[in-house]
Structures are given as structure tokens and as C-alpha cells.
Structure 1
Amino acid sequence: MKTIERDIFNANILIVDDQEANISLLEQLLAETGYTSVTSTKNPEKVFEMHRTHRYDLILLDLQMPIMDGFEVMNALKANHDDAYLPVLVLTAQPNHKLRALQAGAKDFVSKPFDLVEVKTRIHNMLEVRLLYKRLENYNKVLEQTVLERTAELRESEARYRSLTELASDWYWEQDENMNFTKISGPVSDMLGIHIGALTGDANIEESNGDESSNTQLTGWDEAERRKLQAIIAARQPFLDFVFHRNETDGLQRRFQVSGEPMFDGHCRFVGYRGIGVELIGAIHSKNEAN
């Protein structure tokens, strides 16, 4: 027997009818067909709690009952927000109740007096749909959990990557598609004396003047090196261990090394750069000072 067929005949079924004769007929039919888990009740007021406890795969529900009719039972069942699928097959002798029952949430109906072949066919078909729906629901839950776990793994991996890059470098940086810095870790401004964007964008140095700040022309940096780096970035190319120089006012020359790579989103659209930088240890006298 195929797995889906075995699951169908092992499905959890509840019969709700105030007439003992109808319950006996349906129980006998289901047992002879091969269904192994069938429960019944003549009290419609118990259905909500029974379903919440047992999570039935199918409820065979009579519409015409005293105290609480089938429509009221379906309204109560729909209050259970944990079950998006209402597994109800209504039993009715009133043709005008069929459309109303479907509008109330029932998935199918069986007319009274029962046509036994029709009853068996509708029960089997509805259980097949129900169990496939449950499988899809479970698959979506597993998929959602897998995505959450994978996202957590990626975040952990990114954190480790950041930690390693910070240990292996003086600073870590990220820029957006307009070359504006979105993330910086490390003493970039203190080490370089500028916003690092000046190396690739506007050549400005920020100087503090009391509580005000002003931008002045960048001095001391090798313009040829900066233009070369600008060309690499404009071409969206990665760069590794790019060395550039800066001459201090005291005549010392400082050397820095930077590596970066372009970043692209899932649609292959450029979204910026990220990379690391270090200062090469040992300041030397500039060529002009040496001469």
C-alpha cells in the first residue's frame, strides 16, 4: 500500500450526529472500508474541545441537530486559529443547505439518505486533499525553520569574518554604491587623518575649528596613486594590497595598504565595496625631504 493510502486509512475521523442509527451506519461503512481510527459523538457542544485535543483529519457533521446545529459547530471550529483548514464534510437532507454549508467553511457535503458509494468516494477524496495539505503545511514549517537556521549560520559566519578581518587589519570598511561609508571599524580617521572616502572620492580633509568643522583641500597624498585606485573602483574591480603613501608635515612618509572587493546583490546590481586596510609599519622620509 502506498504511503498516502496508508495515511488515509489511518486518518483520525469524527462522526457528529444526534441520530444513533446514522452513527452506526457510518461507523460500519468506515470499518468495512478499512478506516482504523473513528470516533463519534451525539453532542455537538463537545466538538470544538474534541477537535482541539485530537486534531481530526475529517469531521462528518450533521447539520440538523438540537441545541447546536452544524452551522454553529463550524463557527466554533473556525475560532481555532491554529487550523487554517476546516476538515468538515457535512451531512444534510436539505438541498438548500448545501451552498450555505460550503459558504460557512465546509469542504464538501453528503446528501441524506446516504448513497454508500458516494459517501466512501467523498470521504476518501477529502482525506486525500486534507493529508496533502498537512504535508505541505509541515513542509513549509520545515522550510521556514531551515531558512531561520541558515540565516543564523550566515550571520554567525559574517561575525566571524568581521572578527578575523579586524584582527588581521587596522580597519574594516564598507561603502554603498555611491561610495558613502556605511560601516567602519577601527581608527580610520585617527590613522589617516581624513575620511577614507578622500582616497577614492572627493579629496577633502576634515579639520576641527572649535565647535565648527570645515573642509580644506587634501594635501600630502600621492595623486597618481589615488587616481589609479579611483580607476579600479570605477571599473568595479577588486584590488589586493594596494599601497599608497602620505607625506606628513614633518617630512615623514607613511605607507598604507588597502584591499577591497565590489559587492553585488541577487540581481547582479552593484551595491558598493568592502575591504580592509593596514598601515605598513615604519615611517620613512619622503623623497622630497631626502633630496
Structure 2
Amino acid sequence: MATVLIVDDATFMRMTLKEIVEQNGHRVVGEAENGQDAITHYRILQPDLVLMDITMPVLNGLEAMHQIIEEDPSAKVIMCTALGQKKVVMQCIEAGAKDFVTKPFERHRILDAIERVLS
């Protein structure tokens, strides 16, 4: 069972991801609605995995991921993005994201990404 931090500015998306993660045997240890909160939560909770939205207020997901990986090079981050952001997805992968999933989410795609990144 892995511990997971979910980061998305949309409450509905956090709820959806939490349900998928928990129904598949993992534990959501925290939620954040912007990149700055994600960094703070990561430091405190030290989750096994972060599911992070890219487009958020205060600090976007790409910047937050940069800071998290800078502090913890072993951090496992899966980026969540809207369709049609291929350039941003490539930036995320180059910056250290382990995988990405596109919105609207396909349950099996999220689970595949989680299992691949954790194995």
C-alpha cells in the first residue's frame, strides 16, 4: 500500500482521484489545492507518490514539482493535465515527472500509471 498526496485546485478532481486511489488499496495522506501547499504537504507527509495537476493558482504544478524533486530527487510525481498540452507534458517529463495522465481521467490509465511508477 502506497501513500499518496493529491494536488489539484478543483475539489471534484481531488475527490475523483481519491476515490480511485483508495479503491485500489492505496492511502491518500493529504490533499492540496495549489503548488505551494503541495510543497508544504510533501515536506510534512513524505508520501510515496504525488498526483499533481499542472494548471493551478499560486504556484503551478510544474514549478511545484521542480521544487519537490530538488529537495527529494527520489520523489515520484505523476502529472495530471488537460488534453492538448503536449508541450507542457514534455517539459514535465524532462523535469522529472515519472508519468502523466490526461483529463478527463480514465480510471485504468491512472491505475496503470500508479502501478508503473511504484514498481
TM-score normalised according to structure 1 size: 0.38
Any idea what the Cα deviations from partners look like across 1:189-239, whole Å, max 9, x if unmatched? xxxxxxxxxxxxxxxxxxxxxxxxxxxxxxxxxxxxxxxxxxxxxxxxxxx
Per the alignment, residue 196 of structure 1 pairs with: none
Amino acid at match of 1:87: K
Deviation at 1:37, TM superposition (A): 3.9
Deviation at 1:32, TM superposition (A): 1.4
Per the alignment, residue 56 of structure 1 pairs with: 47
Per the alignment, residue 98 of structure 2 pairs with: 107
Per the alignment, residue 270 of structure 1 pairs with: none
Q: Which protein is richer in helix relative to its size?
A: 2
Per the alignment, residue 89 of structure 1 pairs with: 78
Deviation at 1:96, TM superposition (A): 2.5
TM-score normalised according to structure 2 size: 0.89
Q: What SS does the aligned partner of 2:5 have?
A: strand
Q: Percent identity?
A: 32
Amino acid at match of 2:96: G
Deviation at 1:75, TM superposition (A): 2.0
Find the partner of 2:60 among 60, 64, 69.
69
> What is the aligned-residue RMSD (CA, Å)?
1.4
The 2-side partners of 1:77 and 1:114 are apart by: 24
The 2-side partners of 1:37 and 1:30 are apart by: 7
Greater RCO, CA 8 A, separation 6+: 2
Amino acid at match of 2:43: R
Deviation at 1:44, TM superposition (A): 2.0
Alignment of 1:245-284 (within 5 A): none
Alignment of 1:186-265 (within 5 A): none
The 2-side partners of 1:112 and 1:106 are apart by: 17
Q: Are 1:20 and 2:35 counterparts?
A: no
The 1-side partners of 2:51 and 2:45 are apart by: 15
Per the alignment, residue 162 of structure 1 pairs with: none
Unaligned runs of 5+ in 2: none
Deviation at 1:53, TM superposition (A): 1.9
Q: Are 1:40 and 2:43 counterparts?
A: no
Aligned residues: 117
Q: What SS does the aligned partner of 1:23 have?
A: helix
